[in-house]
C-alpha cells in the first residue's frame, strides 16, 4: 500500500508550465478543486459545508465496466448496497450505518474526494492518478481489489516508420520529430500522458484527445501514437498497434481510496475504513485459497504432523490442524487415523493433493473458503502509520 507517489502537480503541463518546445492541442478539461461554494442567506449557511456534514460518504462508479464488479465485491464482503433504482444516485449499506453511498462517474469520485465531498471511494488506480494529479490528500487504503486489471500504455503502429521501433528510447531518438513535425499522441489521459512523455525525453510532442476508440487514430492519420488502457491487448492487435519496452505508464486495478483529511478529521471515517478493510482483506485472502481435509493413518498426532510438515506445500496458513479420528475397538475408543485440515493456495491445489497422497493421505476433500480474518491486517497498520496515528 502506498499513498500516491511521484505525481507532483508540477508534472502537469498547463499552458504556463509546458516547456516551450512542446505544444499542446487539447485544453485540459479542468475541474474545480476548491471546496464547494456555500450559499449564504441572511448571514447563515444555507447549504451545509462539506466539513459540517455528519454522514460518511463512499463514492462508487455509477456506470462503466467498474460499476457492477464493485457492487459484486462489496456483496461478497457481506456489504450489500441497497439502491432503489439505477437512476438513483444515493444508496445505503445496512451493515454500515451512517454511511451514504453516492454513485458517480469514476473521475468524479476522485474529484469529489479531493473537494471533500466524499470521504472514501472505489475506482481504478489509473483514475486516481489521472484525476488526483498527485494531490497529497488522496491515500490508497487497499491497492489490489482484484478487478479492473489493466495498464496505461503508450502504443505505436507496427508498420511504416515504426516497424523497427521497439522501446521508448528508440521512439525518443527518432529523427522524425521536430518542432515543425512533432510526435502526435492521442489520449484521454491528458495529465499522465504528457507527464510520461516529458519524463522519457520526448521533446517535440503534441496531444489530441477523444472519448473513445483512440486505437483508430493512427490508421486515420490523426495521430502517430496513443496512450490508452490495455487489458487483453485485443484492441491494439486488431488495430495493428504495439506496445513498446518502457512504454507502460501505470499498472492499474480497482483500489479503495480515501481523503486523508477525512480519515483524520471526520468522526467515524477511520472506524468504517477499518471495517471495510477487514472485510475486503478477509474475502480477498480467502478467494485465493481452498480448505483441504484428508485422513491419514498414524501412531500419534505429532508423528502425522511431522510427515505433513515434511512436504513443502502442506504447511497451511499457520501449520496443519491435526485431530484424532476415533473408532471403537474392544470396547475402547482408539485413534488409528488422523484428520488433517490445511489451507492451500488455489494454484498449488493439485501439487498439495499429490503430496498428501504421497505421505499416505486418503479421502481428500476440497472446499472453497469464504473469509480469512487475520489478527490485524498489515494494510491497517500501514495506514495508521502513514497517518501518523
Ligand X SMILES: O=P(O)(O)OC[C@H]1O[C@H](OP(=O)(O)OP(=O)(O)O)[C@H](O)[C@@H]1O
Cβ neighbours, 10 Å, residue 291: 16
Minimum Å gap between C-beta 280 and ligand X is 25
List the single partner that 233 binds among ligand ATP, ligand X, none, CB under 5 to 8 Å by kind: ligand X
Q: How far is the CB of 149 from ligand X (least distance, A)?
A: 10
- 224 makes contact, choosing from ligand X, ligand ATP, none, with CB < 5 to 8 Å by partner type, with none
- Provide, rounded to whole angstroms, the least separation between the CB of residue 204 and ligand X: 26
What's the closest the beta carbon of residue 66 comes to ligand ATP, in angstroms?
5
Residue 170 interacting entry, from ligand ATP, ligand X, none, C-beta within 5 to 8 Å by type:
none
Q: Which residue's C-alpha cell is 448496497?
A: 81
| Helix orientation angle between 65-76 and 269-286, rounded to the nearest 10 degrees | 90
- Given the rule CB under 6 A, which residues bind ligand X? 212-213, 215, 228-235
Nearer to ligand X, 226 or 269 (CB): 226
Residue 66 contact, options ligand X, ligand ATP, none, Cβ 5-8 Å cut-off depending on partner type: ligand ATP
For ligand ATP, the closer CB: 98 or 231: 231
148 binds, among ligand ATP, ligand X, none (CB under 5 to 8 A by kind): ligand ATP
126 is in the binding site of which of ligand X, ligand ATP, none (Cβ under 5 to 8 A by kind)? ligand ATP
Nearest to ligand ATP of 70, 262 (CB atom): 70
CB of 215 to ligand X, least distance (A): 6
> Chain-centre distance of CA 172, in angstroms?
31
Strands 120-124 and 56-61: parallel
Which option in ligand ATP, ligand X, none does residue 85 bind, with CB closer than 5 to 8 A by kind? Answer: none
Give the residue with the Cβ less far from ligand ATP, 58 or 150: 150
CB of 236 to ligand X, least distance (A): 6
Q: Using CB distances below 5 to 8 A depending on partner kind, what does residue 127 bind out of ligand X, ligand ATP, none? A: ligand ATP
Nearest CB to ligand X, comparing residues 36 and 235? 235
Q: Which is nearer to ligand ATP, 164 or 232 (CB)?
A: 232
CA–CA separation, 86 vs 2, rounded Å? 33
| Phi-psi label, residue 315: left if phi above 0, alpha if psi -120 to 50, beta otherwise | alpha
Residue number of the CB closest to ligand X reads 212
**Are 290 and 346 contacting, i.e. CB atoms less than 8 angstroms apart?**
yes
To the nearest whole angstrom, how small is the minimum distance from the Cβ of residue 162 to ligand ATP?
A: 23
Q: Which residues bind ligand ATP (CB under 6 A)?
A: 64-66, 106-107, 124, 126-127, 148-150, 212, 229, 231, 252
Which is closer to ligand ATP, CB of 252 or CB of 352?
252
Q: How far, in Å, CA of 250 to CA of 130, rounded? A: 10
CB of residue 233 vs ligand X: minimum separation in angstroms? 5
Smaller CB separation from ligand ATP, 25 or 63 = 63
Amino acid at each position: 500500500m502506498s499513498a500516491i507517489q511521484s505525481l507532483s502537480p508540477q508534472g502537469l503541463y498547463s499552458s504556463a508550465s509546458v516547456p516551450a518546445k512542446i505544444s499542446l492541442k487539447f485544453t485540459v478539461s479542468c475541474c474545480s478543486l476548491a471546496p464547494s461554494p456555500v450559499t449564504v442567506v441572511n448571514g447563515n449557511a444555507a447549504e451545509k459545508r462539506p466539513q459540517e456534514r455528519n454522514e460518511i460518504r463512499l463514492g462508487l462508479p455509477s456506470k462503466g465496466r467498474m460499476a457492477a464488479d464493485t457492487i459484486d465485491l462489496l456483496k461478497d464482503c457481506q456489504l450489500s448496497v441497497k439502491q432503489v433504482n439505477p437512476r438513483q444516485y444515493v444508496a445505503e449499506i445496512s451493515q454500515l450505518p451512517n454511511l451514504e453511498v453516492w454513485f458517480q462517474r469514476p473521475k468524479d469520485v476522485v474529484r469529489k474526494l479531493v473537494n471533500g465531498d466524499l470521504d472514501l471511494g472505489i475506482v481504478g488506480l489509473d483514475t486516481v492518478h489521472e484525476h488526483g494529479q498527485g494531490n497529497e490528500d488522496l491515500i490508497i487504503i487497499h491497492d489490489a481489489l482484484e478487478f479492473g486489471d489493466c495498464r496505461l500504455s503508450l502504443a505505436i503502429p507496427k508498420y511504416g516508420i515504426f516497424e523497427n521501433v521497439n522501446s521508448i528510447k528508440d521512439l525518443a531518438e527518432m529523427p522524425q520529430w521536430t518542432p515543425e513535425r512533432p510526435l502526435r499522441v492521442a489520449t484521454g489521459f491528458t495529465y499522465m500522458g504528457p507527464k510520461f512523455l516529458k519524463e522519457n525525453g520526448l521533446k517535440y510532442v503534441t496531444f489530441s484527445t477523444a472519448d473513445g476508440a483512440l486505437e483508430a487514430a493512427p490508421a486515420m492519420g490523426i495521430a502517430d501514437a496513443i496512450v490508452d488502457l490495455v487489458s487483453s491487448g485485443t484492441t491494439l492487435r486488431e488495430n495493428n498497434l504495439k506496445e513498446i519496452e518502457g512504454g507502460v505508464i501505470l499498472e492499474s486495478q480497482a483500489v479503495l481510496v480515501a481523503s486523508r483529511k477525512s480519515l483524520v478529521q471526520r468522526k467515524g471515517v477511520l472506524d468504517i475504513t477499518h471495517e471495510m478493510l477487514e472485510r475486503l482483506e478477509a474475502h480477498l485472502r480467502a478467494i485465493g485459497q481452498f480448505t483441504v481435509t484428508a485422513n491419514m493413518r498414524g501412531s500419534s498426532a505429532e508423528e502425522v504432523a511431522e510427515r505433513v510438515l515434511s512436504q513443502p506445500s502442506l504447511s497451511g496458513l499457520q501449520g496443519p490442524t491435526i485431530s484424532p479420528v476415533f473408532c471403537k475397538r474392544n470396547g475402547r475408543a482408539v485413534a488409528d487415523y488422523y484428520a488433517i485440515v490445511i489451507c492451500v493456495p488455489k494454484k498449488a491445489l493439485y501439487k498439495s493433493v499429490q503430496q498428501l497422497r504421497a505421505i499416505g493421505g486418503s479421502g481428500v476433500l476440497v472446499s472453497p473458503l469464504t473469509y480469512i480474518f487475520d489478527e490485524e491486517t498489515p494494510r491497517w497498520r500501514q495506514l495508521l502509520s502513514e497517518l501518523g496515528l
